[in-house]
Amino acid sequence: MSEQREKERGLQRATASIVPRPSTEGLLQAWVRFFPSCEQPKPDTPSTLDFFIRFLSSRMRFKRNGSYTLNRKSKTKPNGKKPPAEEKKQYVEPEFTKIRVVDFDLKELVVLPREIDLNEWLASNTTTFFNLINLQYSTISEFCTGETCQAMTACSTIYYWYDERGKKTKCTAPQYVDFVMSLCQKLVTDEEIFPTKYGKEFPNSFESLVKKICRYLFHVLAHLYWAHFKETVALDLHGHLNTLYAHFIVFIREFNLIDPKETCIMDDLSEILCSPVPAPAPSAPAPAPSPSSQNHVTER
């Protein structure tokens, strides 16, 4: 028993040599302050009190004025600077998201019609989206330069271009968009991939190529919102961009053309723009005309 006491006293002395030991009353007050739901330790038991001292010594800072505060993990970086605050996304603010070109359910536009071949429907819509997104980007292309957009960014993501050999290349945003549009133009105009003549079959790789095109087009849309939404608003074209983006997202979701992990960076905007548009409240019926007004005739 005496050997056990000696070990406990040795630990007590080691702790006291590192951190100034406060009074027992102060420790009990600190316990009540930070752990009100826990049972207070009994100071008459040496082993309990020693454990309590070691525990609070490792979790608390003792100030000269006798007050005690818990050690908490600092939110600052090792260099002492606080992490930068997340940039506010202007494009998700209600005053901008409510602006649309159309206000009906876009899902009606993307559902596969009866007696229409799936590949024909995918080809038609993919070609249309390529032309529309290319046109939308051209409206702000003068603001997207190698100096203003040194990388193809969207939110916290940087997109790299992979050539036909799989070589990874970091390029400016205008270079990346040029690569995207050139590739899409090459694919949608290739008669072997996007056939336009009756009776010609689509290749087996058609669906994978459509997914590739849609993934690249999404990168362009994400960059438009992230880097050039202010210019789009200044040109009063954010309603067109919102409608185009919502239409595109509804389309790719309908046919599972892009992995959700790829589009998750824009989920906040997607959920706002793709939510069903509430039906307008029914208007009150017009009052029945009075007999005098029915019989009134205007002479000219």
Instruction: Give CA separation, 208 vs 94, 214, 255, in Å.
Output: 36, 10, 12
- Residue ranges and CATH numbers for the domains of the chain are 2-70 (no CATH), 90-273 (1.20.140.30)
Q: Is 228 annotated as a binding residue?
A: yes
Q: Is 219 annotated as a binding residue?
A: no
* Average per-residue pLDDT for the chain: 76
The answer to whether 144 is a known ligand-binding residue is: yes
Amino acid identity, residue 172? T
Q: Which of 31-45, 185-199, 241-255 has the lowest mean pLDDT?
A: 31-45
Q: Is 223 annotated as a binding residue?
A: yes
- What's the CA gap between 221 and 244, in Å, rounded? 9
Q: 34 pLDDT exceeds 50?
A: no
Number of neighbours of residue 184 by Cβ within 10 angstroms? 24
Longest dimension (CA), the chain: 122
pLDDT of residue 293: 42
pTM above 0.75, yes or no: no
Q: What's the rounded Cα separation, in Å, for the pair 127 and 185?
A: 9
Specify whether the CB–CB gap between 152 and 172 falls below 8 A: yes
Alpha-carbon gap, residue 184 to 134, rounded angstroms: 10
Quickly tell me which residue has 């000219």 as its tokens: 300
- When mean pLDDT is compared over 7-16, 46-55, 85-94, 96-105, the highest value belongs to 96-105
